[in-house]
Structure 1
């Protein structure tokens, strides 16, 4: 058996233990009603009855990545979250969002976004916007975002300072870039589309994107 398999088995076993403990400690909350009707042996079934739909390897992997990020960041978050009946609707919403993702990095970002929302650092509109962005990311866009953060601003001409020209337009739709003034090119009529990074981009990168 490979080291990777051993690590995965240990991680899943640990997550199952977390689920057992959550169910035990949350006996008087909605978690009990949902979780006691399903096998505790599976982490995918240990948190809520809704998770019983998470039967594929992809779904379980995404949920596990979400829980692992919670344990690494705030060990008590999951327990507190599921003990609060007011989080029922949000819990189901998060499961639906996770179902739209396939990269573990996306699951980690979803946890960070949920934590920001529960700690009132962002409002529901921002939560919805960030989770929308996360579900629309892929490996290509993730690499572009990583590169964008480390780009040096082009200030050869202080009057027309910019970060990037002709970017992937999805970054513009995410409001991570704003167009800036650019000079005319040789024919005196055409302009090259140039953009600068926004505060929105830096906030997303630092608080949600960065591992």
Structure 2
């Protein structure tokens, strides 16, 4: 199977940490995880981002997006919405939409915020919208996961979340880690089932 794409944007590292934990869950379920990010949006109109980041994870390519067998999409909260860099990326995916490259593939979302009530759930809901327009099969995080009942930090049925603290350096709590792993495993399991269904004879 093609890899599961873990696509995130992160400035202080909290969302990146979640991406790696979700990737670990994908690989625990027996599929390959491909971790990618998107460039920042420049504040200066004449400034260009380098084609390859100087440090950290590579920028996602259109081919990687088209060919993935599933997608986990992550962004920090920005006033209850996804970060502008991630929104800008999805605004440029018309060709993938026209060709239905992502239709029928499973997807989930994840986010982090500095405070407990920093807009996590609305951010997760906003991130679902482009995925639904692309025809992806959205999967949440069911309450059959015990950590979703027990968490006093992040975690929602719309997707895993993390309370990063004002400085953005709070470590993932035990429950947040458990939910990240669970979400990665669930995404991989459903990707495998959908792939098998699509190749089964009629």
Same fold (TM over 0.5): no
TM-score, normalised on structure 1? 0.20
**Structure (1 or 2) with the greater helix fraction:** 1
**Structure (1 or 2) with the greater strand fraction:** 2
TM-score, normalised on structure 2? 0.20
Bigger RCO of structures 1 and 2 (CA < 8 A, at least 6 apart): 2
Q: Which protein has the larger Cα radius of gyration, Structure 1 or Structure 2?
A: 1
